[in-house]
Structure 1
Amino acid sequence: MKDETTGSRTKNGHSRAATRRANEAAILKAAETVFAEAGYGGATMQLIADMAGLPKANLHYYFATKEALYRAVVERIFKIWLKAANVMDDAAGPAEGIGAYIEAKMEISRRHPNGSKVWASEVMHGAPVVQDYLETTLREWTAGRSAVIERWIAEGKMAPVEPAHLLYMLWATTQHYADFNHQIEVLNGGPLSPAAWQAAKTSVKEIILRGIGVDPA
């Protein structure tokens, strides 16, 4: 009986943990959409709860305030982007490192367009919620990746360019496919197919790599 009770508690514990993860994922996904479409000022916890299919009280259980939920949304996309950049750290050169980074960032734009839009809006409004991230984590990240690019330049593996401006170009190009996806869909005659996404990744990678004197093959 004791073992069964312990097992039951374990199962219930796993069940509660799984439910919590599922609810948090549903809330964050709904919040991304609402914040992207309505902006921070227009978004309400009730709208987010309705889209998540959960009672409003549940949102306040996981996120006490709208600002806390908004910060979780912008932190989430930021961490996803930072993780994508890990491919540059141990890459043999820019073809592998920058090429893989472009692939990863384009895929994030395909999978998380609303998160990217929320981040863009936040920054365009002066980053009132995540200014601390810009001044610390992003600044440190940029300095670290700039050092990698400078090393590749010193090793003669790519043309001498200003690392910061190359990074800005990478962000602007890859995130364009999320932030301006409606414009792209209109010009494309509809959403990009998986094949069209792959073609876009290949084109962006080739254009940027050839622009810094690197053979993308």
Structure 2
Amino acid sequence: MEDQQTEPKKLSRIQQRNRELIIDAALDVFSQHGFRGATLDQIAESSGLSKPNILYYFAGKEDIYVTLLNQMLSSWSDPLQALKADGDPITEILAYVDRKMDMTRAYPRESRLFANEIIQGGSRVMEHLQADVKALFDEKVAVIQGWVDAGRLAPVDPRHLITSIWATTQHYADFDAQIQVLLGPGDQVIDQGTEYLTTLFAKALKPEPQAAE
């Protein structure tokens, strides 16, 4: 007799709502305190659900945390993936900066969650970094290096270019408390930052004009 695989039981509307409340509350807690500093009591208080209710849906704190990371990692590399080798080099890179700032605007908690995980050693994302992100990173480094070699970009190290884009764009989310004190609150700060960074990278990447022979 063949084994029959049972499909996961479909959640009711209330159960789905409760699971979403837990995930959203956990995103707040983990993005503020990191995995080590977060507790189920904090998640329960933030979600408005009891700790036993949370443990009905998740096996524990780590189960919630890994669920959040998996949801985030599935789309975190999309902006870099969209950089096209057959496009205009500066246009493609500036569009990448713009996409990264859009993610900073839309997903600040997710950015801080990822930053906290990396600061704590990144053990729960290391497999993804090594298997997926590194391959994509190397692919786009080769694309940018090809543009540099062809004289279509100023001489830059593509590896440091990509990581500097990460650092400058995600800073607005990861250090939001500092940004609000120094630059002020509101979406206009992201707008201004986007304009500044695209101007900065455009100037840095513009190749020197070829001397006439």
What range describes the TM-score normalised by the shorter chain of this pair?
0.7 to 0.9
The one-letter amino acid paired with 2:55 is H
Percent identity of the aligned residues? 33
Are residue 72 (structure 1) and residue 67 (structure 2) matched? yes
Residue matched to 2:4: none
Counterpart amino acid of 1:29? D
Residue 101 to residue 20, structure 1, CA distance change in 2 (3 Å): farther
Q: Is 1:52 the counterpart of 2:44 in the alignment?
A: no
> What is residue 140 of structure 2 aligned with on the other side?
145
Letter of the 1:116 partner, please give it. S
Q: Would the alpha carbon gap of residues 66 and 200 (structure 1) be closer, same or farther in structure 2, given more than 3 Å must change?
A: same
The alignment partner of 1:88 has SS state of coil
Query: 1-side partners of 2:86 and 2:192: how far apart?
Result: 23
Q: CA deviation at 1:207?
A: 0.3
Query: For the residues of structure 2 that align with 1:87 and 1:21, how far apart are their CA atoms?
Result: 32
* Distance of 2:126 and 2:98 partners within structure 1: 27
Q: Which amino acid aligns with 2:70?
A: E
Question: What are the Cα deviations for residues 112-133 of structure 1, in whole angstroms up to 9, with x where unaligned?
Answer: 2222112112112211222212
Correspondence for 2:193 = 200
Q: Is the 8 A contact 1:81 1:105 kept in 2?
A: no
CA distance in 2, matches of 1:89, 1:27: 38
Cα separation, partners in 2 of 1:24 and 1:157, compared to 1, 3 Å: farther
Which sections of structure 2, spanning at least 5 residues, go unmatched? Answer: 1-9, 208-213
Please give the alpha-carbon distance, in whole angstroms, between the structure 2 residues aligned to 1:21 and 1:37: 25
* Pairwise CA distance, 1:22: 4.3
The match for 1:123 is 118
Higher helix share: 1
Distance 2:68 2:135 in 1: 21
Alignment RMSD (CA, Å): 2.5
Structure 2-normalised TM-score?
Answer: 0.81
Q: Is the 8 A contact 2:105 2:187 kept in 1?
A: no
How many Å separate the matches in 1 of 2:137 and 2:15?
Answer: 34
Secondary structure at 2:49's aligned position in 1?
coil
1: CA distance, partners of 2:189 / 2:15: 36
